[in-house]
Structure 1
Amino acid sequence: MITQPGKFIVIEGLEGAGKSSAIALVNDLIEQHTGQAPVCTREPGGTPLAEKIRDLVKIGDDSDPLCDEAECLLIYAARAQLIANVIKPALAKGQWVLGDRHNLSSLAYQGGGRGLMPLVTAVSDACLSGFTPDFTLYLDIEPRLGLTRAADRGKLDRIEQQAIDFFERARQTYLQLALQDDTIVVIDASQSMEKVHQDIRHQLMNRLPLLQSKD
């Protein structure tokens, strides 16, 4: 019996968009639909080495500030590890993978936010070789609202402490890329959690049969 490849679903969004609760919901929906819990990952991170890289990116060091280019390259190093050692092996076994962020984050944050789109595009092409998620839910929120929500959770990390203009540029990049890719669906994350989850459930349940029909 030949195992059909699994599917790769990603949740994206700015800080405070509600990714954690959305991931919990999508995890349950995938398990109900397929009969198997998905493999859950996060970026940067998801492997022992990639988690160490995550700490370098998330925790600031005033004595040796991380430059924008180094940030970009570190994130792609972590992503390459995750794809090679977790995501692709799981998909090859027929398992579904649910990702907390993927390449769209780099395009938005490092490409749009940092203004490094040529570097991001070049490194993305080299590292990913066309590998993309089957479906992405982008939780859209106005940056000031999102950061207020994030601050309510506790101390902000190095990325979350960036200027508001950084997040405005990242958001616009997210929205522009979503318009160009029919595998990306935009959810209004400024709504109540109940309404956000209702929209996610509707979008995902409409897509799951289509994803499986591609096997």
Structure 2
Amino acid sequence: MIKDLIGKLTDAFLKDEKSNIGKLFLIVDEQLTALKSALTTAENWRDIDAAKGKALDLLGDNVSQDRGRATDEIYRVLIRGKVARNVSDGTTNRIIEALAKTLNCKPGEIHIVSSKENNEDEPATIIVKKAPIEALSKVGMSATQFSNIVQKTVAAGVRVAYVDLNGTFRFSSSANSIETSQYGFSTDGTDGGTLGGIFQPEDDYPLPI
């Protein structure tokens, strides 16, 4: 940028960075570069996935979502969840869509059934049979916190019985023959069953939802 500034001078001035006016332009160039960087950062931080700290707090204020003790990663989940819940009608498909948007994962990573579908008799109850374990671990969300988010997403009067956080990996049903299954060992790291497990913080604080 400094060369462009000096190049705009008339021939009455010495067009050299080491000249007095060139040194002044160096100072201006530093300030303009810093300003451009600040404006670029401010523009980027309008994106919820890029915003941090106070900038993220302002995004949360826009949807009336408190931060509480949540980290930036979990606060992003809360903000997305608040927006997604506002357009959810309480049906199973909409609940799954809302949770997928909340956790920034694919709807296929979540499976919800009613207690009746799971051969249980409790009315107005759902069970999360499949949860996005990788997405939860990525943001550092505990099983309890995720269960609370699910409970907040379902319709009033509906209870979340439990969330199944087991993986899909299965051993062969026969010890003496080779069995091909989508739930067995992976061949290239992209297929096969998944292992269970989720991040469990020492301080499992409640979320402001």
Q: What TM-score results when the alignment is normalised by the length of structure 2?
A: 0.27
The structure with the greater share of residues assigned to helix is 1
Greater C-alpha radius of gyration = 2
Relative contact order, higher structure (CA 8 A, sep 6+): 1
Q: What TM-score results when the alignment is normalised by the length of structure 1?
A: 0.27
